[in-house]
Amino acid sequence: MRTALLLACALTAVAASAEESVYRELDYPIDNYLPKVEGDMALSGTYPLWKDRTKLDWRMAGNPEENWRLNWKFMDPPFNGAVHGGHFALDRGEDLYKALNRDGRFAACLGAGKGKLRGLRTRYPSYNKELKRVVGLEEMIERCAARQDQVLQNGSYDNSAVSLYMASHSQGLPIRIDVSKGPMKEAFERGRILYHTKAGRLNFACSSCHTHNVGQLVRGTHITTPYGDAAHFPVYRTKYMLQSLQLRIAECNLDSGVQPLRPGSAAYTDIEVFLTALTNGYPVSVPSERD
C-alpha cells in the first residue's frame, strides 16, 4: 500500500512540474520497442525471455525478488488449472457460434478460410478490405452477427464469449500479426503514440505504468510489461466475468482518470494493434483467469 501511495505521489509530482507544458504531452522518450529487452529481436519475440522462470531478467522488475510477479504469462496455460468462469464462457461462446454459423456464413464473414477457425485468432486485429480499415476480432463478431440480425455488442459478455471460443481454436499457436507495412503499420504507429501519450486527471500515459513502473504495486496488483498480454484475452475476471482486451484498456483508463472510449473505437483498436504486435510469438492461452 505504501509503495502504491509513494508511486502515486511521485508520479503526481512529475505531472505537477510539467503543468506549464501542453496538457497532453508524450511520455518521452517514446520507447523503441525494437528491441526493448536485451535479446528482443523483432516484434516482439520476447516470449523465450518470459516462458522460463530462470530466464526472467530481473532488470525488468527492478528487483530480483519481484521477478516472478513481473510477467505471469509464461505460466499460462494453465495459470489456474481448475475449472473457472472462463470455461463456462467458452461453452456459451460455442453455443452462440454454432447457432450463428449454421450455414457457414458467420465463419466466412470473420475471415475463416474454408470455415477453419484454427489460427484465425492469431491474425487479428487485421485490415478489412471492405471497411478499408483495421478491425479487431470483437468488432467483426458484432458486425458479422448483425448481418444475421443478431445483436452481439462489442464488449458484451456474449460477444467476448464468442471471441473466446474463436481464440480456443488457436490455443498454443503463436500470435502473428504483420505490422511491417500498410494500414497495419500505420495503426501500430498510432497505437504506439497513444500508448505513450499522457492524458486525464493524473496525466499518465499507459507507458507511465506499464513501461516505466513495471513491478510496482498499484491497487494491490503488480504492474506488468505490455509484452504477451494480447495472447490471453478475452480473460475471465473474477469481478467482471469476461473481459476483452479493449475493455481492459477502458478499465485502465478509468483507473487512471481518463475518459474511457467505447470498445471498437479507432483509438482502442490502434492500441490493440500495438499491444498485439508486442505479443507476436506468444502462444494463445485461453481461457485464462485474472483476479
Query: Could you tell me which residues come within 8 angstroms of residue 17 by beta carbon, excluding any fewer than 6 positions away?
Result: none
Torsion 218-216-18-34 (CA) sign = negative
The answer to whether 221 contacts ligand HEC (rule: CB under 6 A) is yes
- Which range of residues in 24-32, 91-99, 103-111, 252-260 is near ligand HEC by CB under 6 A? 252-260
Cα 1 from Cα 20, distance rounded (Å): 31
Nearest to ligand HEC of 235, 242 (CB atom)? 235
Please work out the total of residues on this chain that contact ligand HEC, with binding judged by CB under 6 A.
21
Nearest to ligand HEC of 67, 256 (CB atom)? 256
Cα 216 from Cα 212, distance rounded (Å): 9
Contact pick of 231, 248, 283, 287 for ligand HEC (by CB under 6 A): 248
Torsion, Cα 15 19 22 28, to 10 degrees, reads -30
Contact pick of 253, 269, 279, 280 for ligand HEC (by CB under 6 A): 253
Q: Is 73 within 8 Å of 282 (Cβ atoms)?
A: yes
Cα 233 from Cα 4, distance rounded (Å): 26
Nearest to ligand HEC of 192, 248 (CB atom)? 248
The answer to whether 208 contacts ligand HEC (rule: CB under 6 A) is yes
The answer to whether 224 contacts ligand HEC (rule: CB under 6 A) is yes
Site residues (CB under 6 A) for ligand HEC? 204, 206, 208-210, 218-219, 221, 223-224, 229, 235, 245, 248-249, 252-253, 255-256, 271, 290
